[in-house]
Amino acid sequence: MFKYSLLILLLGINYPMNAYNEGYSDNNGVKIFYRDYGPMGAEPIILVQGLGGQLTLWPEFLIKDLQANNFRPIAYDNRDVGLSSRFTSKPSQLINYVKYFLFIPIRSEYSIEDMASDGIAVLDELKIEKAHIFGMSMGGMIAQILVANFPSRAKTFTQISSTASTPNPFNGPKLKVRNLILDRSITKNASYEDRYQRAVELIKVIGMEGYEFDTPEFKEQAIENMKRSKDDTGFSRQLLAILSSKNRFNKIKAINIPTLIIHGADDPLLKVKNAYKMHKLIPESELIIIDDMRHLIEQPILEQFKKRLLQHLNSNS
Residue 18: the pLDDT is 62
What is the CB-side half-sphere exposure of residue 200 using CA atoms within 13 A?
Answer: 17
- Confirm whether pTM is higher than 0.75: yes
Q: How many helices (H) and strands (E) does the chain have?
A: 12, 8
**Domain CATH number, residue 108:** 3.40.50.1820
What residues make up the domain containing 11? 6-314
- Report the candidate in 210, 229, 50 with the shortest Cα–Cα distance to residue 143: 50
Measured distance CA(103)–CA(63) in Å, rounded: 39
Measured distance CA(25)–CA(121) in Å, rounded: 6
How far are the Cα atoms of 98, 116, 242, 251, 301 from residue 165, in angstroms, in the given order? 19, 16, 10, 11, 25
Measured distance CA(29)–CA(125) in Å, rounded: 14
- Report the candidate in 233, 223, 196 with the shortest Cα–Cα distance to residue 92: 233
* Domain contains 103: yes
* Domain contains 116: yes
Measured distance CA(297)–CA(300) in Å, rounded: 8
* Domain contains 237: yes
Residue pLDDT, tens place only, 123-136 = 999 999 999 999 99
Measured distance CA(310)–CA(23) in Å, rounded: 28
pLDDT band at 138 (very low <50, low <70, confident <90, very high): very high
Averaged confidence pLDDT in the chain: 89
pLDDT band at 17 (very low <50, low <70, confident <90, very high): low
Number of domains in the chain: 1
* Domain contains 186: yes
Give Cα 167 to chain centroid, integer Å.
16
- Strands 285-290 and 259-264 come out as parallel
Measured distance CA(317)–CA(217) in Å, rounded: 36
More confident: 249 or 201:
249
How far are the Cα atoms of 21, 73, 128, 139 from residue 67, in angstroms, in the given order? 14, 7, 17, 21
Residue pLDDT, tens place only, 29-49 = 999 999 999 999 999 999 999
Average pLDDT over residues 97-121: 89
Residue 225 reports pLDDT greater than 50: yes
Residue pLDDT, tens place only, 53-106 = 999 999 999 999 999 999 999 999 999 999 999 998 887 777 877 787 777 888
Measured distance CA(39)–CA(12) in Å, rounded: 12
Count of residues making up the chain: 317
Give Cα 20 to chain centroid, integer Å.
20
For the chain, first and last CA: distance in Å?
Answer: 27
The single-letter DSSP state of residue 208 is: P
* Domain contains 1: no
